[in-house]
Amino acid sequence: MEDDDIPDTPPHDLRDDLPEDTSDGGAPQLRPQSLMLAFFGNHVLEEGDLCVYSGSIIDVLGRVGVGEQAVRSTLTRMVSRGLLRRQREGRRMYFGLTEQATRVLKDGRTRIWREGAVNDDWDGDWTLLGFSLPESRQRERHDLRSRLAWSGFGALYSGLWIAPGRVDVAAVVAELGLTAHVKIFHASADEATDIGLMIRDTWDLESVAARYVSFDKRWTAHLNAGPGEDPIGTRLRLVSEWLWTIRADPRLPARHLPPDWPARPAQDTFRRVADQTAIPADHLAHRLLETTPSR
User: What does pLDDT average to over the chain?
Assistant: 87
Render pLDDT for 92-117 as a digit per residue (tens, 0 to 9).
999 999 998 998 899 889 889 988 89
The two most distant CA atoms of the chain are separated, in Å, by 68
In this structure, are residues 131 and 181 in contact, taking their beta carbons and an 8 Å threshold? yes
Q: Please state, in angstroms and rounded to a whole number, the distance separating the CA atoms of residues 199 and 203.
A: 6
Name residues whose C-beta falls within 8 Å of residue 22's C-beta, 6 or more positions apart in sequence: 28, 29
- Residues sharing a CB contact under 8 Å with residue 254, sequence separation 6 or more, in sequence order: 118, 119, 120, 122, 261
User: 87: Cβ–Cβ under 8 A, 6 or more apart, which residues?
Assistant: 51, 93, 94, 95, 96, 292, 294, 295
pLDDT at 63: 94
Q: What is the pTM of this model?
A: 0.83
* 292 contact partners, CB below 8 Å, separation of at least 6: 50, 51, 53, 87, 89, 94
* Whether residue 38 has pLDDT greater than 70: yes
Q: How far apart are CA 184 and CA 170, in angstroms?
A: 8
Please report the beta strands in 118-277, taking only residues with DSSP state E, as ranges in sequence order: 125-131, 154-157, 160-164, 182-188
> pLDDT tens-digit profile of 224-278?
766 567 999 999 999 999 999 998 888 899 999 999 999 999 999 999 999 999 9
Torsion angles phi and psi, residue 174, rounded to 5:
-65, -40
For residue 5, pLDDT over 60 is answered with no
Q: In terms of Cα–Cα distance, which of 89, 139, 104, 116 is closest to 271? A: 116
Asked if 52 and 45 count as a contact pair (C-beta separation under 8 A), the reply is no
Residue 279, pLDDT > 80, answer yes
> What does the pLDDT read at residue 16?
37
Calpha distance 200→203 (Å, rounded) = 6
